[in-house]
Amino acid sequence: MKSRILLALLLNVSCCCMAQESLSVDSMLCAIRDKDQSIRQKIMPMLASGNQDSIMAVVVQMNMIDKENQTFVFGLLDNQGWPDGLSDKANSAIFLVIDHAEFAAQEKYYPVVKEKAEQGIIGKEDAATLQDRILMKKGEMQVYGTQTTRVVINGENINYLWPVKNPDQLDKLRKEVNLPPIAEYIAVFEKQGIKLVWDKSLSVDDLKAKMIQK
């Protein structure tokens, strides 16, 4: 009888410790997400103002925060994988850290991002965004129209939507991954005073040529 009680107590302590550990990881990931988003909210108005000194100061700060976040999240994924039972905010944090990482890390962790999107752990739009980001960095056309790039033409900063594979099907494809129509996406930039151009005729090479021009 005593042995059964002791076993029950041990199991209860073990379960409590596991629950506390999971809660701790969840809390840390939620804090990471807050830091990730807070710094990026600062940079959007800076981009609109065009003040290069202010932009660079925030970018330096953002890069430092990203590195700290990556150390924790990548260590977590490499050592134990994507934890089960996390809150939506904590799951979102893992995605955002991957999404804002360097190309090698994005490619490395994209399969698990896609898997979690298919399982409904994170949104389909998250995996679509990362897929587009990887394609753009590889110099290929994107699928869902989530990526933009900035071009300086005659001293004016102009943001272009990175070329899309199937422009005529874009809204249909975006709907499949819970993204709003492309016109609404462009309107978000305009509300913040940022000009975003979508030229359906532009190829990747055409856009790269514009980026070289001053």
Chain segment 96-112, per-residue pLDDT in tens:
999 999 999 999 999 99
Please state, rounded to an integer, the average pLDDT across all residues of the chain. Answer: 87
Q: Higher model confidence: residue 22 or residue 129? A: 129
What confidence score (pLDDT) does residue 186 get? Answer: 94
Residue 165 pLDDT > 60: yes
How high is the pLDDT of residue 124?
A: 97
Q: How far, CA to CA in Å, does 4 sit from each of 7, 11, 16, 18, 148?
A: 5, 10, 18, 21, 62
Which residues have CB under 8 Å from 17's CB, separation 6+? none
Question: Is the distance from CB of 28 to CB of 83 less than 8 angstroms?
Answer: no
The pLDDT, as a whole number, for residue 150 is: 87
Indicate the pTM of the whole model. 0.77
- φ, ψ dihedrals at 149, nearest 5°: -145, 150
> pLDDT at residue 47 above 90?
no
Binning pLDDT at 50, 70 and 90, where does residue 193 land?
Answer: confident
Q: How much of the chain, in percent, has pLDDT values that exceed 70?
A: 84
pLDDT band at 48 (very low <50, low <70, confident <90, very high): low
Closest to 130 measured CA to CA, from 165, 166, 154, 94:
94
CA distance 109 to 102: 11
Query: Which residue pairs, CB below 8 angstroms and at least 24 apart, start in 48-53?
Result: 48/192, 48/193, 48/194, 50/157
- Quote the pLDDT of residue 22: 52
Q: Does position 168 have pLDDT exceeding 60, yes or no?
A: yes
State which H helix or E strand residue 149 sits in.
strand 148-153
pLDDT > 80? residue 9: no
Residue count (the chain): 214
Q: Which two tokens stand for residue 126?
A: 């998250």
Per-residue model confidence as pLDDT tens digits over 110-147 = 999 999 999 999 999 999 999 999 999 999 999 999 99
- CA distances to 7, 51, 185, 190 from 196, rounded to whole Å, are 64, 18, 10, 7
Q: How many CB atoms lie within 10 A of CB 187?
A: 12
